[in-house]
Amino acid sequence: MSDDAIVMLRAEHRELRRALRTFTRTRDTETARRGEIAGDLCALLSAHVRAETDVLYPRIRELVPALDPLLRVPEERHRVIEEVERRLDGLEPYDARLAAAVRVLDELVTAHIDQDEDEVYPRIRAEVGRNDLQRIGREIRSVRDDRSTSDGDRGLTGALHGLLR
Q: Are 4 and 133 in contact (CB under 8 A)?
A: yes
Q: What are the start-end ranges of the H helices in 25-129? A: 31-50, 57-63, 68-89, 97-115, 121-127
pTM for this entry: 0.84
* Distance, CA of 158 to CA of 128 (rounded, Å): 31
Summary mean pLDDT of the chain: 89
* Distance, CA of 160 to CA of 127 (rounded, Å): 31
Query: Tens of pLDDT along 71-82?
Result: 999 999 999 999
Query: Tens of pLDDT along 85-98?
Result: 999 888 999 898 99
* Distance, CA of 114 to CA of 112 (rounded, Å): 5
